[in-house]
Homo-oligomer: A and B are copies of this chain.
Amino acid sequence: MNQMCATCPVKESAACAVLSEEERDALAAAGRTRVLKRGEMLFAAGDDEAACATLVSGALKISAFDAEGNEQILSLVHPAGFIGELFSPFAHHDVVALTESQLCTFARKDIERAIDDYPALARALLKRSQEDLLATRNLLELTAHATAEARLAALLHDFASAASDASCHIASHFELPLTRGEIANMLGLTIETVSRKLGELEEMGAIARKGKRGIDIADPALLRDISGR
C-alpha cells in the first residue's frame, strides 16, 4: 500500500475503500493530494476542467449563485465525501473549503476510466450519489415549508448528529462549521433572522451558546420537537 493511502483517515469509508490494494494504488498514482485553506476554491461553476476529489479531512460547501450574485449553499461535504459531476461537461456549482481541508484529487478522465475498469467503484459512487440525493432532499424539505425556527433547529440537530461518532445519540456540544451568513444562505434566511432565532432557541432552553461558534445542546428532545421531525 502506498504511503498516502496507508495513513489516510478515510481509507475505510471513502469510495476507494471498495477497491483492492493494487487497484487503489493504481488510482492513487493518477491522483494527487491537495490542501485547501478556508475560503479557497476547488473549482468554480462553469469550469470545464473541474477535477473530482475525495475529501480526506476538513469540510467543503457546494454553492450556487443567482442572477444578483447571492450565494445559496446547496450541500456540505464531510470527510470521505466525493465531489465531482462526472457526466457533465462543466461544473454547475462552486466548491469552496469551509475549514482547512485535505483532498485527494483526480482528473475527470482518470475517474471515468476507473469506473469502467473497476465495477465496484461505480457501485460505491452510485451509493454515495444516492446518499447525497437524500441529504439534498432533506434540506429541500426543510427550506420549503418550515418556519425559520424549525429550519434552524433542524440544522443544529443535524450538526449535532454529524459531530457525534455514535449513530444512536447526538453530540451535546459542537462548534458551528459555518458563519451566521453561511447558515442563513443554507436555510434561505437572513443573517439577522438567524441571529435572532438562535437567541430565541437559547431563551427557550433548547440550546446554549458558548462563544460565537460553540453550541451546547441543552434539550435534544425540545430541539427535535421545534424542528418538527
Q: Interface on A for B, CB 8 Å cutoff?
A: 64, 66-68, 70, 72, 74-75, 85-88, 92-93, 115-116, 119, 122-123, 125-127, 129-134, 136-137, 139-141, 143-146, 186-188, 228-229
Contacts and interface: CB of A to CB of B under 8 A. Distances in A.
- Chain A contact surface mostly: helix
What is the total number of copies of this protein in its complex?
Answer: 2
Contacts of A144: 72, 143, 186-188
Given A122-B122, A126-B115, A228-B67, A145 B87 contact: no
Contacts of A132: 133
Contacts of A146: 66
A171 to B, nearest CB: 23
A127 to B, nearest CB: 5
Nearest to A93: B137
Contacts of A133: 129, 132-133, 136
Which of A86, A133, A229 neighbours the largest number of chain B CB atoms within 10 Å of its CB? Answer: A133
Give 10 closest A-B pairs by Cβ, nearest first.
A144-B188, A122-B122, A119-B119, A129-B129, A126-B126, A87-B127, A74-B137, A143-B144, A136-B136, A67-B228
Nearest to A65: B141
Nearest to A74: B137
Contacts of A92: 134, 137
Contacts of A126: 86-87, 115, 122, 125-126, 129
